[in-house]
Amino acid sequence: MGHVYRLVISCPDQVGIVASVAQFISEKGGSIVEANHHTDTSNGWFFMRHEILKGSMNCDLAEFEAGFAELATQFDMQWFISDSESPKKIALFASKESHCLADLLHRWHENELPGEVVCVVANHDDLRSMVEWYQVPFHHVPVTPDSKPQAFAKTEEIVAQYQADVIVLARYMQILPPQMCRDYAGQVINIHHSFLPSFVGAKPYHQASERGVKLIGATCHYVTEVLDAGPIIEQDVIRISHSHTIDDMKRLGRDVEKTVLARGLRYHLEDRVLIHGNKTVVFDA
């Protein structure tokens, strides 16, 4: 399939939005490949995403943006248009556990991930060789209780240096400082190894074993200042029984963590996730 523009809009709902937007796209010759709408009737908010074939447009992106701005003001829209030929730059944060990191690197290497992995930052050095096989720069930034402020200053410097658009906590095991959560709001994606809101915080599989649940899960969410409480992008579960030890749960859970994180990240990279309050609208293909 050819490259596309992605036009993403949210605004107060009213009659005529769809017609005006469709009319505008049509005038530019735009061939709509995918379109999704959603009205949240509980708060009167409207969400919309279009994929428009680049080759079909009779104007360039700047001209589109200039023209659309007027219409956007009229409907009080929050909006942006992105280009699938300018994929988002991804900074992966890791620790010692490799399953999520290896999974994302492999997907990227196989051209499955619609983004560009620009660097890995890790607070341990264990995964350096694996990362370097993929020819991705690896930065070892240890985080200790004493060095936390300096470590995160260094970390933010690296992110800025690579102009990363999104930070993925691929089992990073460190809590980001509140200021960093605010600075990168909507740009930091975490994978938590439980079906949130159950089992917030440390050792969720131990918590799950203690409670005797019959399914365990994983949750991909945006990071906010409140631990494990940000907007949820994607979740999934897997069945367990009394016969599974905590080690079995960790093993089974890894498969869920990997796929949930990969799906959630994919949605983000394709601008399919619209955050509103503490919830998300996810326009899955």
User: Choosing from 228, 236, 247, 248, which is the catalytic residue?
Assistant: 228
Element housing 60 (H / E): none
Q: Is 278 in the site for a second copy (CB under 8 A)?
A: yes
The encoded tokens of residue 123 equal 């607070």
Residue pair 162/136 in contact (Cβ under 8 Å)? The answer is no
Binding residue for a second copy (CB under 8 A) from 16, 44, 55, 201?
A: 16
- Taking the complex as a whole, the smallest distance from the CB of residue 147 to a second copy amounts, in Å, to 28
- The residue (of 25 and 180) whose beta carbon lies closer to a second copy is 25
C-alpha angle with apex 204: 202 to 206, nearest 5 degrees? Answer: 105
- The residue (of 86 and 278) whose beta carbon lies closer to a second copy is 278
Cα 199 to Cα 203: distance, rounded to the nearest angstrom? 8
Sorted by sequence, the CB contacts under 8 Å of residue 175 that are 6+ apart come out as: 227
Binding residue for a second copy (CB under 8 A) from 122, 196, 223, 269?
A: 196
- Taking the complex as a whole, the smallest distance from the CB of residue 28 to a second copy amounts, in Å, to 10
The encoded tokens of residue 55 equal 């080759």
Binding residue for a second copy (CB under 8 A) from 54, 124, 154, 244?
A: 244
Q: Is 30 in the site for a second copy (CB under 8 A)?
A: yes
Task: Based on the residue annotation, tell me whether 76 is a catalytic residue of this protein.
Answer: no
Q: Is 19 in the site for a second copy (CB under 8 A)?
A: yes
Residue pair 10/276 in contact (Cβ under 8 Å)? The answer is yes
- Taking the complex as a whole, the smallest distance from the CB of residue 108 to a second copy amounts, in Å, to 12
- Taking the complex as a whole, the smallest distance from the CB of residue 275 to a second copy amounts, in Å, to 10
Tokens 């929050």 identify what position? Answer: 78
N-to-C CA span, the chain: 14
Q: Is 62 in the site for a second copy (CB under 8 A)?
A: no
Binding residue for a second copy (CB under 8 A) from 176, 191, 235, 270?
A: 235
Q: Is 98 in the site for a second copy (CB under 8 A)?
A: yes
- The residue (of 82 and 209) whose beta carbon lies closer to a second copy is 209
- The residue (of 160 and 215) whose beta carbon lies closer to a second copy is 215
Cα 37 to Cα 207: distance, rounded to the nearest angstrom? 39
Cα 86 to Cα 257: distance, rounded to the nearest angstrom? 28
Cα 54 to Cα 60: distance, rounded to the nearest angstrom? 9
Binding residue for a second copy (CB under 8 A) from 127, 223, 232, 261?
A: 232
CA distances from 230 to 11, 88, 98, 177 (A): 22, 21, 24, 15
Binding residue for a second copy (CB under 8 A) from 115, 204, 217, 253?
A: 217
- Taking the complex as a whole, the smallest distance from the CB of residue 150 to a second copy amounts, in Å, to 31
Binding residue for a second copy (CB under 8 A) from 11, 22, 181, 185?
A: 22
Q: Is 135 in the site for a second copy (CB under 8 A)?
A: no
Could you give phi then psi for residue 222, rounded to 5 degrees? -75, 145
Other C-beta atoms lying within 10 Å of the C-beta of residue 152: 17
